Chains A and B, each alone.
Chain A
Amino acid sequence: MKPPAGARRRFSKPRVIRVLGLVAALCAACLGSGCDQGRAPAYAIRRDDGRNPEAMAAAQGALARLYPPRYRATQRAIITVGRRQFVCDGVLAVSPQAGEHLAVVSTLGLVTEVQVATNGQTRLLRASPLLKETWSRDFVARDLRELFAPCAEGEPGGWLADGRLVLESRPRPDGSAARWVFTPSGQRLQEIEVVRGQRRLYLARIRQYRQFAGFPRGIPAEFDVRAPAYRLELRTAALTVLSGDAPGIAGAAPP
Chain B
Amino acid sequence: MTTKLRGGLLVLLWCWSGPAGAFCQAAAPGSAATLEEINRVLAGAKTVFTHFVQERHLSLFHEPLQSEGYLCFEQPRRIRWEVTEPYRSILISDGSGVAQFEWVGDQWKKLDLGLAAAMQSVVSQIAEVMRGQYGRESRQYNVALANTDGGPVVTLVPRNEKVRKMIQAIEVRLAPDLAVTRQVVIREKDGDFTEIRFDGQFVGLRLPEGTFDRRAPLALEQIRQATGKGGR
Contact = CB atoms under 8 A, between A and B. Distances in A.
Nearest to A240: B63
Nearest to B116: A84
B45 to A, nearest CB: 23
22 contacts: A72-B63, A74-B65, A76-B86, A76-B87, A76-B102, A78-B102, A84-B112, A85-B111, A91-B58, A101-B60, A103-B60, A107-B14, A108-B6, A108-B9, A109-B167, A129-B162, A235-B104, A237-B87, A238-B86, A249-B60, A249-B61, A250-B62
A165 B63 CA distance: 39
A130 B1 contact: yes
Contacts of A219: none
A25 interface: no
Given A87-B102, A107-B13, A109-B192, 4 more contacts: A76-B89, A86-B113, A105-B58, A113-B58
How large, as a class, is the contact surface on chain A? Answer: 35 or more
Contacts, number: 99
Given A76-B102, A83-B112, A87-B102, A110 B61 contact: no
Task: Classify the interface of chain B: helix, strand, loop or mixed.
Answer: mixed
A109 B60 contact: no
Nearest to B190: A126
Contacts of A83: 112
A193 interface: no
Interface in B89-131: 89, 100, 102, 104-105, 109, 111-115
Interface string B170-185: 0000000000000000
A107 B10 contact: yes
B188 interface: yes
Nearest to A126: B190
A110 B13 contact: no
B144 interface: no
The 9 closest A-B pairs by CB, nearest first: A84-B114, A237-B86, A238-B86, A85-B111, A237-B87, A76-B87, A247-B62, A91-B65, A129-B1
